[in-house]
């Protein structure tokens, strides 16, 4: 299993540009999450999904959108990028009905985004 994968690893955006951060998991997890981590800080939840077709806002959703058309994929869309969105973005997934620790969230390697 590759686990949770994210692309790209790094990206520099200009103010006002848009982009999509990709996230894929191959563990057949029902739940997926997007977090951002600002320098020296903890992780803050942006959006999460409890299954295909279902998404909900987290703590800091403004400026972002998500979709969940399949179990495996959970892309995060940034529209009109702003310097305040400079951060490291982590995707995570959890909970498979077929076994394993149902509580554990598995994180992807992260995407480092700079908006200038």
Partner 1 sequence: GENVEQHPSTLSVQEGDSAVIKCTYSDSASNYFPWYKQELGKRPQLIIDIRSNVGEKKDQRIAVTLNKTAKHFSLHITETQPEDSAVYFCAASRSTASKLTFGTGTRLQVTL
**Residues near partner 1 (CB under 8 A):** 30-31, 33, 40-45, 48, 50, 58-59, 90, 94-95, 101-105, 107-110
Cβ proximity to partner 1: between 6 and 85 the closer is 6
Longest Cα–Cα distance in the chain: 44
Handedness of CA 47, 37, 81, 8 (dihedral sign): negative
Cβ proximity to partner 1: between 14 and 40 the closer is 40
Task: For the chain, give the number of residues.
Answer: 116
Q: Name the one residue in this structure whose structure tokens are 């997007």.
A: 34
For residue 4, the minimal CB distance to partner 1 (Å) is 8
For residue 75, the minimal CB distance to partner 1 (Å) is 18
For residue 33, the minimal CB distance to partner 1 (Å) is 7
CB-based contacts of 89, cutoff 8 Å, min separation 6: 6, 21, 34, 35, 36, 37, 46, 76, 110, 111, 113
For residue 102, the minimal CB distance to partner 1 (Å) is 5
């Amino acid at each position: 299993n590759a686990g949770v994968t994210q692309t790209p690893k790094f990206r520099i955006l200009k103010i006002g540009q848009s982009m999509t951060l990709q996230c894929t998991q191959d563990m057949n997890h029902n739940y997926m999450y997007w977090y951002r981590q600002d320098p020296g800080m903890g992780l803050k939840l942006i959006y999460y999904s409890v299954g295909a077709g279902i998404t909900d806002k987290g703590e800091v959703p403004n400026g972002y959108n998500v979709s969940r058309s399949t179990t495996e994929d959970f892309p995060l869309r940034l529209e009109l990028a702003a310097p305040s969105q400079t951060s490291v973005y982590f995707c995570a997934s959890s909970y498979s009905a077929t076994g394993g620790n149902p509580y554990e969230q598995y994180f992807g390697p992260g995407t480092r985004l700079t908006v200038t």
